[in-house]
Amino acid sequence: MRHRTAVAAITGPIPDFSVITLANPKGGVGKTPLAAGLAAVIAEHRGAGTLVCADLAEIGGSLADRVAVPPRQGQDVSALLTAAATARGSIRPSTLSRYLVRQPSGEDIIAGNQTNTAAALEYDDGTSLADVLAQHREILIADTGNSSLAGSWQWAAAAANVLVVPVPLRRDAAAAAHRMLLDIIATAGPHVLAHAVVVITDGPGDAPMVETEAVDAFIELGVRAVLRMPFEPLFASGERIAANQLRRNTTDALTVLAATVIGLIAGAPD
């Protein structure tokens, strides 16, 4: 019953093109595998070609190394933005498909800045990417880097209809996430927490005694939901992620997360 309810929520209508941002300035907390897994589950139920998962790390990023079908040279954000500028912002579906890589579950991914490694992605690059994708897709999942000072990171935080914050049960990761949310509140206001979801992840080296303290701190701060993600060997291994190879309890947890996120988008205030 829970699964059917979650799937119904995932497939429900959303008001407009939406951005789901995964962020935690602490490296190694599982942003990229969670972004890839979430994208796969949403696409499985909403349909192929409904969303793009983009690597918005300021320079490069690991999304291209973790997805089941890797991109070729030139299939990255910088190349797409160059093509969009040449076409004055209006790109045909056939042109867009040259820069996206379809995954087995139906989601498309686009790699981070690999064409122009001398220049970091900036705030305006995030805006331009969203403008292009909004012409052809429903959702952008933004996999951010580790620098909250980067322009692309700031765009992803500001543009997020839903903010997903992965937090392993390590004190440093929880503290970094808590500080990040406080900084975002200071910039954008406390309403951000109404569409923020913290995902507590299990993994090697976790300290269970941190959980109660961390969860209490996030709830006290006012985040909309705190969910759990079980330990997933494929996430932790650093290998490529094929959705059909994930453990059942991982898929179930991703489905609950996807339903929560889509539900927030559907009911999010303008």
Q: What pLDDT band is residue 269 in, cutting at 50, 70 and 90?
A: very low
| Percent of the chain's residues with pLDDT above 70 | 94
The Cα 186–Cα 156 span in angstroms is 16
Q: Is residue 270 part of a domain?
A: no
Q: Could you say which DSSP state residue 243 is in?
A: G
Number of domains in the chain: 1
Q: Is residue 128 part of a domain?
A: yes
Q: Is residue 2 part of a domain?
A: no
* Whether pLDDT at 99 is above 80: yes
Question: Which residue type does 189 have?
Answer: G
- Asked whether 89 and 133 are in contact (CB, 8 A), the reply is no
pLDDT digits (tens, 9 = 90+) for 143-189: 999 999 999 999 999 999 999 999 998 888 899 999 999 999 999 99
More confident residue, 60 or 30: 30
Q: Is residue 69 part of a domain?
A: yes
Question: In this structure, what token pair is assigned to residue 176?
Answer: 């970094």
Q: What pLDDT band is residue 90 in, cutting at 50, 70 and 90?
A: confident
- Neighbour tally for 190: CB within 10 Å: 12
Alpha-carbon separation of residue 158 from 62, 142, 155, 188, 251 (angstroms): 22, 12, 5, 8, 29
pLDDT digits (tens, 9 = 90+) for 128-139: 999 999 999 999
Alpha-carbon separation of residue 56 from 92, 96, 134, 198 (angstroms): 22, 17, 16, 20
The Cα 159–Cα 130 span in angstroms is 9
Backbone angles phi, psi at 72, to 5 degrees: -90, 170
Predicted pLDDT of residue 1: 81
Q: Is residue 247 part of a domain?
A: yes
Predicted pLDDT of residue 250: 96
Q: Across all residues in the chain, what is the average pLDDT?
A: 91
Predicted pLDDT of residue 270: 42
Q: How many residues does the chain have?
A: 270
- Asked whether 149 and 252 are in contact (CB, 8 A), the reply is no
User: Average pLDDT of 99-108?
Assistant: 97
Predicted pLDDT of residue 118: 59
* Whether pLDDT at 204 is above 70: no
Q: Is residue 4 part of a domain?
A: no
The Cα 223–Cα 221 span in angstroms is 6
Q: What pLDDT band is residue 232 in, cutting at 50, 70 and 90?
A: very high
Q: What secondary structure does DSSP assign to 18-31, as a single string? A: EEEEE--SSTTSSH
Range of the domain at 148: 19-265
Q: Is residue 61 part of a domain?
A: yes
CATH number of the domain within which 192 lies: 3.40.50.300
Predicted pLDDT of residue 115: 64
pTM for the model: 0.94
Q: Which residues contact 220 (CB under 8 A, 6 or more apart)?
A: none
User: Average pLDDT of 89-101?
Assistant: 91
Q: What pLDDT band is residue 215 in, cutting at 50, 70 and 90?
A: confident
More confident residue, 204 or 96: 96
The Cα 153–Cα 25 span in angstroms is 9
Q: Is residue 91 part of a domain?
A: yes
* Whether pLDDT at 48 is above 90: yes
Q: Which residues contact 49 (CB under 8 A, 6 or more apart)?
A: 102, 106, 108, 137
Question: Which residue type does 165 have?
Answer: V
